[in-house]
Chains A and B, each alone.
Chain A
């Protein structure tokens, strides 16, 4: 199922599909946000923003406004 990082629930994993290269900064790509890489939502900040993610092994946090712009495909995960 296609969605954006913004809509992930805590603990969900997804594969990054695509995003508008002109809007997403190069830095994020360099930190591992590339099509085909896996992203997992680890924590949501108490007020809903930012999002703490594991992208391709990198642990980082981004704001929702950026997360909304990255399209991902959910991975059917078995309950841990």
Chain B
């Protein structure tokens, strides 16, 4: 007989290895989603425990305290205050780091006050020897009123014992370990009398926080027991002091440090990595290595994916029974899927590097180094991670801005991140550079095409910084000025954690963006294969008529018919409609089609061009490039893809806001339509103007 799964919540400070514990317990049986209505990540996993008991493990966002200072942290409170929530835990695991036990225990004492059965997990036990730390577990268990699991998620020990503890959750004490209400006995007593059925600490949290509390009307409590903002803060300070006093007393006996044994690796590394010269040199070197690797290493897998799908597409066309569905599959769906999968190498590598930097603790040092510089541009040191992540995809980058405390700095970071060259722009850049930039070398070793690509990246970052600077001056947004970044100890990144992180993020991207791109490819194919009117329907007759005098060979005939059809298809008509607007930029209606379709997802640009040049023709990648190179303006007789129009296209894509998903997430994170709307208008105009100027000057 299967019992209901037990709900286990993982809570703890950031940097304690909570994610490692989560990974150890769930392996790859995890899924990442969103809490409804907000963009905080919801990580859930499944774990088989001894005695045939199954557990749903919920990895809550890292937080220092239940007094939430960000949306992430408020998610924790809301869950823990709502007994009726499906995910309300049967047992809470508070994960702590043996080196930071003092601070970690603050959260622990707060959780205990919620009277949930709580297991104290002390992680990083493998470091105890190095640091000369010894613990009196029985003493701690007695005074903290819990059961302790001393583990090392890195080395993998203690996990089985932890699982056994979870299984015996009904025997775990849910008694608070200290009585904090004595900080103002009178106040809390009257509170207790007014609401005898509610947990005192819960009531206190509702009074001090902006929390949604289902069972009780917040106004009910607040109106009768309200205090001034100042008074509340004073009480909270007293509460915090009381808790730390308790913790200090317990740890005085329960934890001993033999400092003669302690090795201090951290400060040695810190001295170099935050050095006024070497710190920056090392950082830029690391960035350089990252970007070089991403390009070099991704080339081979990307080419492989590319040619595989080109082949698949041809094979499908040849071997499946002829008909509309086959055409849809071989010309729409297969290239569409290929267009999504081709991103995986780059995104995976970027997430890999960022993961390693964060796991190792180095990212905090980068934030430390860059904060002052970034502030000159209205950004925060913490903006570094989103700006770098933006080179993979702006969406996770914008989500990463959540840890920026100052609202103005956060807003500006969100608004300028889309300027950084995201991986979706790469296929566009790659094909255009391949067409119009000569494949030569300058100074003997620097490849001009490669340099152009680097230049585009620099333009991306440069524009982001410049835009930030301008926004900083223009925007009159109030933001509380506060900044704190924890500087965790350095650790060797755990392969398992990094791997799981990369897999999860890549999966999320591929399935999320991928679905959109696939849907668009399908629609695009239809729009390109059908058209209203006689010009489309009677394509063959028309071509026959026009070439009566000089009949064409069968191949030429087919190509001519395909062209005629395309030009008069739905999408062809859309392209022709916007042609007058884009011809000053050097583009024709075919490019126009590609630009329109890439508004939903930039990656689709190349796929669209492939469709345009292959509808009715062959799907060989090479042929497409050749075809594009051979495209000629019917009026002027000049090549469509020339240096001027190529640069113009590059500039257009560098600045255009073409990602509906980015706009959507900006709206979510800023809670208003005005910001993404402004982004759309501003970036589109900028893209148009710069592309226009580029073409007019260079032609």
How far does the Cβ of A70 sit from chain B's closest Cβ, in whole Å?
12
Is the C-beta of A56 less than 8 angstroms from some C-beta in chain B? yes
B100 is contacted by which of A34, A35, A45, A58 (Cβ under 8 Å)?
A58
1/0 contact string of A17-39 vs chain B (CB within 8 Å): 00001100111111110110000
Q: Are B236 and A48 in contact (CB under 8 A)?
A: no
Is the C-beta of B186 less than 8 angstroms from some C-beta in chain A? no
A65-B102 CB under 8 A given contacts A26-B233, A43-B270, A43-B271: no
How far does the Cβ of A8 sit from chain B's closest Cβ, in whole Å?
16
1/0 contact string of A47-64 vs chain B (CB within 8 Å): 111101000111111110
Q: Interface segment, B62-70, B310-318, B580-588?
A: B62-70
Interface contacts beyond A21-B237, A62-B484: sample of 20 additional A-B pairs, CB < 8 Å, sorted by A = A21-B233, A26-B69, A27-B69, A27-B482, A27-B484, A29-B237, A31-B484, A34-B237, A35-B241, A43-B368, A45-B368, A45-B372, A46-B274, A46-B369, A47-B373, A50-B368, A52-B368, A52-B487, A61-B368, A63-B483
How far does the Cβ of B314 sit from chain A's closest Cβ, in whole Å?
57
The interface on chain B, measured as residues whose beta carbon lies within 8 A of the other chain's beta carbons, has a size of 45
Is the C-beta of B559 less than 8 angstroms from some C-beta in chain A? no
A42-B372 CB under 8 A given contacts A28-B484, A34-B244, A62-B484: no
Is the C-beta of B371 less than 8 angstroms from some C-beta in chain A? yes
Which residues of chain B in 363-414 are interfacial with respect to chain A, using CB atoms and an 8 Å cutoff? 364, 367-369, 371-373, 381
Q: In the complex, what distance in Å separates the CA atom of A60 from the CA atom of B368?
A: 10
Is the C-beta of B319 less than 8 angstroms from some C-beta in chain A? no
A30 is contacted by which of B106, B233, B373 (Cβ under 8 Å)?
B106
1/0 contact string of B223-252 vs chain A (CB within 8 Å): 000000110011011001100100000000
How far does the Cβ of A46 sit from chain B's closest Cβ, in whole Å?
4
Q: Are A46 and B279 in contact (CB under 8 A)?
A: yes
- 7 A-B pairs closest in CB distance: A46-B276, A47-B372, A59-B487, A30-B65, A49-B372, A63-B483, A27-B69
How far does the Cβ of A36 sit from chain B's closest Cβ, in whole Å?
8
Q: In the complex, what distance in Å separates the CA atom of A22 from the CA atom of B233?
A: 7
Q: Which residue of A lies closest to B380 (CB)?
A: A63
Q: Which residue of B lies closest to A36 (CB)?
A: B241
Is the C-beta of B291 less than 8 angstroms from some C-beta in chain A? no
Q: Are A42 and B270 in contact (CB under 8 A)?
A: yes
A49 is contacted by which of B103, B267, B280, B371 (Cβ under 8 Å)?
B371
Q: Are A59 and B483 in contact (CB under 8 A)?
A: no
Is the C-beta of A3 less than 8 angstroms from some C-beta in chain B? no
Is the C-beta of A66 less than 8 angstroms from some C-beta in chain B? yes
Q: Which residue of A lies closest to B267 (CB)?
A: A42
Q: Which residue of A lies closest to B234 (CB)?
A: A21
Is the C-beta of B556 less than 8 angstroms from some C-beta in chain A? no
How far does the Cβ of B77 sit from chain A's closest Cβ, in whole Å?
14
A58-B486 CB under 8 A given contacts A22-B233, A26-B69, A30-B67: yes
Residues of A near any B CB (own CB < 8 A): 21-22, 25-32, 34-35, 42-43, 45-50, 52, 56-63, 65-66
Is the C-beta of B488 less than 8 angstroms from some C-beta in chain A? yes
B280 is contacted by which of A26, A46, A50 (Cβ under 8 Å)?
A46
Q: Are B487 and A60 in contact (CB under 8 A)?
A: yes
Q: Which residue of A lies closest to B371 (CB)?
A: A50
Instruction: Give the chain A neighbours of B485 by CB distance below 8 A.
Output: 50, 60-61
Q: Which residue of A lies closest to B240 (CB)?
A: A29
How far does the Cβ of A45 sit from chain B's closest Cβ, in whole Å?
6
Instruction: Give the chain A neighbours of B193 by CB distance below 8 A.
Output: none
Q: In the complex, what distance in Å separates the CA atom of A59 from the CA atom of B364?
A: 11
Instruction: Give the chain B neighbours of A60 by CB distance below 8 A.
Output: 484-487
Q: In the complex, what distance in Å separates the CA atom of A7 from the CA atom of B233?
A: 27
What are 5 A-B pairs with beta-carbon distances under 8 A?
A27-B65, A49-B371, A61-B371, A61-B484, A65-B481
Q: Are A25 and B69 in contact (CB under 8 A)?
A: yes
Instruction: Give the chain B neighbours of A26 by CB distance below 8 A.
Output: 65, 67, 69, 233, 236-237, 240
Q: In the complex, what distance in Å separates the CA atom of A65 from the CA atom of B64?
A: 22
Q: In the complex, what distance in Å separates the CA atom of A29 from the CA atom of B234?
A: 11
Q: Are A31 and B237 in contact (CB under 8 A)?
A: no
How far does the Cβ of B76 sit from chain A's closest Cβ, in whole Å?
14
Q: In the complex, what distance in Å separates the CA atom of A46 from the CA atom of B366?
A: 12
Q: Are A52 and B274 in contact (CB under 8 A)?
A: yes
Q: Are A59 and B488 in contact (CB under 8 A)?
A: yes
Q: Which residue of A lies closest to B279 (CB)?
A: A46
Q: Are A34 and B102 in contact (CB under 8 A)?
A: no
Instruction: Give the chain A neighbours of B482 by CB distance below 8 A.
Output: 25, 27-28, 66
How far does the Cβ of A80 sit from chain B's closest Cβ, in whole Å?
12
Instruction: Give the chain A neighbours of B237 by CB distance below 8 A.
Output: 21, 26, 29, 34
How far does the Cβ of A40 sit from chain B's closest Cβ, in whole Å?
11
B372 is contacted by which of A21, A30, A35, A48 (Cβ under 8 Å)?
A48
Q: In the complex, what distance in Å separates the CA atom of A10 from the CA atom of B64?
A: 27
Instruction: Give the chain A neighbours of B103 by CB distance below 8 A.
Output: 31-32, 56-58
Instruction: Give the chain A neighbours of B381 by CB distance below 8 A.
Output: 50
A56-B64 CB under 8 A given contacts A49-B372, A61-B368: no
Q: Which residue of A lies closest to B489 (CB)?
A: A59
Q: Which residue of A lies closest to B372 (CB)?
A: A47
How far does the Cβ of B409 sit from chain A's closest Cβ, in whole Å?
11
Q: In the complex, what distance in Å separates the CA atom of A47 from the CA atom of B277?
A: 11
A61 is contacted by which of B236, B373, B487 (Cβ under 8 Å)?
B487
How far does the Cβ of B250 sit from chain A's closest Cβ, in whole Å?
15
Of B102, B233, B484, most A-chain CB atoms within 10 Å: B484
Which residues of chain B in 480-527 are interfacial with respect to chain A, using CB atoms and an 8 Å cutoff? 480-489
Q: Which residue of A lies closest to B104 (CB)?
A: A58
